[in-house]
Chain A
Amino acid sequence: MDAFTALAEPTRRSILEMLSANGNLAATDIYKKFRASPPAISQHLKVLREAKLVHVEKRAQQRIYYINPEPMKELEKWIHQFAANTEKQFTALDALLEREKAKLQNNKEKKNG
């Protein structure tokens, strides 16, 4: 699952927000923060791992979750490309505005001349 789809789910976004606020969290601490059952939360953690939004380290009996900054950059990349497309459209608008300004100027000169 790609980062976008993984991020579309509110529980997974909450998990990411917790991790970014705390740096890292044990799986058991993440479970405690939700009303949903630990197996349900565990499924969400699995999706986040597969999307490489988080990674896990085993420490003694605990599984510690960390946030991965890299996939977040993917989102930025998409926004960047979206911006490039929007920019194209506005460049066309710039050209249109220049043409319209020239028309207005011509009309004015005709009136005065």
Chain B
Amino acid sequence: MANKTTITAEPNKQELFIIREFEAPRELVFRAYTEADLYEQWVGPDDLTMTVEKMDAFDGGSYRFLHERDGHVYAFHGVYHEVLAPERIIGTFEFDGLPETGHVIMGTTKFEDLGGGRSRIVHQSVFQSVSDRDGMIQSGMERGVTQGYDKLDNMLARLQEPNTASA
């Protein structure tokens, strides 16, 4: 029923691929990636408060968003190298909470039209080192384990309630 996410991270490589199909035209998926009020609704774990501080989604623009949990704020920022609606976004990504700055990821997201109101995103992240990549995968794992699957179920139920969003 639900579309499945494919993640490819080959051992000893600096890249990571994420591929996912959507039951929506790519124009709409592209908007969900580039409009702050939409982006806030889906990015980040559900136990964090997500705030987009800045999102200038155009060539040379930049973004910054904040995740907040129990008074702790985690910031992420980057610049847009290319924003080509509704086909492609190329930009950088950096987590401000690392012990040192300079661990920057370059990301390319392609939005493919599959016809019939469906689409596919193909995302590539290129890291500066294998340990940068593996470290990010590892931190994603730990977060998931502490969060637990019961929370996931709650979140899915909440999201599926019709029109709870600010319409």
What's the dominant secondary structure at chain A's contact region?
helix
Name which of B52-60, B105-113, B152-160 contacts chain A.
B152-160
B side interface size, CB within 8 A? 44
User: Which of B5, B31, B46 is A100 in contact with, Cβ under 8 Å?
Assistant: B31
> CB distance A86 to B28 under 8 Å?
no
Alpha-carbon distance between A105 and B141 when the two chains are bound, in angstroms: 38
Is B43 part of the contact surface with A, judged by Cβ < 8 Å? Answer: yes
User: Which of A17, A86, A92, A99 is B18 in contact with, Cβ under 8 Å?
Assistant: A86
| Contact mask for chain A residues 85-96; partner B; CB cutoff 8 A; 1 contact, 0 none | 111111111111
A-B contact pairs, 28 of them (CB 8 A): A7-B130, A8-B130, A13-B12, A17-B12, A75-B134, A79-B137, A81-B144, A81-B145, A85-B141, A85-B143, A86-B7, A87-B4, A88-B45, A88-B152, A89-B44, A90-B3, A90-B20, A90-B42, A91-B159, A92-B41, A92-B42, A92-B159, A93-B32, A95-B159, A95-B160, A99-B163, A100-B31, A102-B163
> CB distance B7 to A82 under 8 Å?
yes
Interface residues of B in 124-147 (CB under 8 A from A): 129-131, 134-135, 137-138, 140-141, 143-145
Contacts of A78 in B (CB 8 A): 134, 137-138, 141
Is A1 part of the contact surface with B, judged by Cβ < 8 Å? Answer: no
> CB distance A91 to B140 under 8 Å?
no
> CB distance A96 to B145 under 8 Å?
no
Is A84 part of the contact surface with B, judged by Cβ < 8 Å? Answer: yes
B contacts, CB < 8 Å to A? 2-5, 7, 9, 11-12, 18, 20, 22-24, 28-29, 31-32, 38, 41-46, 129-131, 134-135, 137-138, 140-141, 143-145, 152, 155-156, 159-160, 163, 165, 167
> CB distance A8 to B134 under 8 Å?
yes
Alpha-carbon distance between A104 and B24 when the two chains are bound, in angstroms: 12
